Amino acid sequence: MGQPEDLRSFILSCTKEYVDLEPVEVNGIRGVRYGSYNEPGGCRIDWWLKKGELMICITLQSSSNHPSDEDKETHQQIMESVSHVAT
């Protein structure tokens, strides 16, 4: 099973561009993210999160190259809703 840090090599294989990953933790689930709304054309953020043997990859993208406050709020709500429930 891969690790969230594998996002870097995945992006490199697609774009041939090195990226810096930001470590994140969402509701106790650790991972990495790449992207920002503060960059030119910043309309997409990739999240790779892993807990135990489960890994989830989430891409949040705005409807334009200049995300609205509504887009950003919706993305925040989506990420806040992510949780791990042991079965």
Would you say residue 29 lies in a domain?
Answer: yes
Q: Which residue would you say has higher pLDDT here, 23 or 36?
A: 23
Res. 1: pLDDT tops 60: no
Would you say residue 10 lies in a domain?
Answer: yes
Q: Which residues contact 79 (CB under 8 A, 6 or more apart)?
A: 26, 47, 58, 60
The reported pTM is 0.76
Would you say residue 50 lies in a domain?
Answer: yes
Would you say residue 86 lies in a domain?
Answer: no
Q: Which residue has the tokens 């106790």?
A: 28
Q: Which residue has the tokens 């990953």?
A: 21
Q: pLDDT digit string (tens) for 64-83?
A: 777 888 888 999 999 999 99
Q: DSSP for 24-79, please give it.
A: EEETTEEEEEE--TTSTT--EEEEEEEETTEEEEEEEE-SSSS--HHHHHHHHHHH
- Domain residues for 64? 4-81
Domains of the chain: total: 1
